[in-house]
Amino acid sequence: MKKMLTAIWIIAVIVFFMDWGIVGLSLLNGNYEIQAGIYIGIVCWVIVIVGGPIYKLFDGRCPYCEKIRLQEGKYCPHCGKEIKK
């Protein structure tokens, strides 16, 4: 699950830069029909921005009880086991 999220995030970053590159080139060439490119760029931008906290949420799961730990701590608030980093 974590690997998949990382892969999606990396793809979003690559598409984001490529897309804005294409949009930029289109503008330089006097082509202003770039709405689709802008939408793709915005979607990728949202994935890149939102992806960080979502990834952290998955990363913050307790390895023993699989519950999400919202606060950083040495011990899991659900099962009380020590979390080794």
Residues of this chain that interact with Zn ion (CB under 5 A) are 62, 64-65, 76, 78-79
Cβ nearer to Zn ion, comparing 28 with 70:
70
CB of 55 to Zn ion, least distance (A): 19
Cβ nearer to Zn ion, comparing 58 with 64:
64
Cβ nearer to Zn ion, comparing 39 with 75:
75
Helix/strand/coil percent split, the chain, to 5: 60, 5, 35
Distance CA(74)–CA(83), nearest Å, equals 6
CB of 57 to Zn ion, least distance (A): 15
Q: Single out the residue of 59, 61, 62, 55 nearest to residue 79, CA to CA.
A: 62
